[in-house]
Amino acid sequence: MKKKSIFYFSFIIVIISSLNLFSTEKPDLKIFEGNLKNLGGEWFIISDGDFFQLNLAPEEFLEENKIILASKEHFKAKGVIIDEVIDVYSIYTNSSIVDLRDLTGYPLWQKEKLIGHFHVNPKMCIGCQLCVSVCPTDAISMIHGRAIIDADKCIDCGICENGNGAYKGYPTNAIKKQE
């Protein structure tokens, strides 16, 4: 009986892998332009009569990149709408473009925190969500069908990579500790 369950589990992983390997899913990034509005410490954009909350970077990251936001100011950004919130990938300033996220959606302000922490290789991630379910600190979430580890929440327990008994570790070795 145990051999059958291992076979079925392996079969399911192969099916999920093949579906995701041939997927060319990329975020559907769009340009958003409009006026800014700050409500309760959160930023919103009013564009063509629509009102969207903006998911930006932390204030420190914005300040480091010389981005100063002000209500009623014209704002232009590239991003993707997820649950009525715009995840901002890039902000257009008068003189340049400032990236907040890479094309996988991973926050660039966390890149320097990767050393010594676990990281998901998005090209190897099959979107099975097994690592999400076993993470004791909810540090792993799914963005555009790929797992992302929040370095601020990660406690380096290694369960996502190595397992914890019933869960035997990430099936495609997409999760590794950065050295």
Residue by residue, pLDDT tens for the chain (179 residues) are 555 555 555 555 555 554 444 443 456 789 999 999 999 989 999 988 889 999 898 888 899 889 989 989 999 999 988 778 888 999 998 888 999 988 777 788 776 555 557 888 877 888 898 899 889 999 888 877 888 888 778 888 888 888 887 778 778 888 888 76
CA angle 66, 67, 69 (to 5 degrees): 145
Neighbours of 87 (CB within 10 A): 21
Q: Does domain 2-25+107-177 have CATH number 3.90.420.10?
A: no
**Domain locations along the chain:** 2-25+107-177, 30-99
pLDDT at residue 88, as a whole number: 92
Fold category of 30-99 in CATH: OB fold (Dihydrolipoamide Acetyltransferase, E2P) (2.40.50)
Q: State both tokens at 86.
A: 């715009």
Q: Based on the number of CB atoms within 10 Å of its own CB, is 21 exposed (0-12), middle (13-18) or buried (19 or more)?
A: exposed
pLDDT digits (tens, 9 = 90+) for 73-91: 999 999 988 778 888 999 9
CA distances from 97 to 8, 61, 111, 123 (A): 48, 14, 18, 26
pLDDT at residue 125, as a whole number: 87
Q: State both tokens at 82.
A: 């997820």
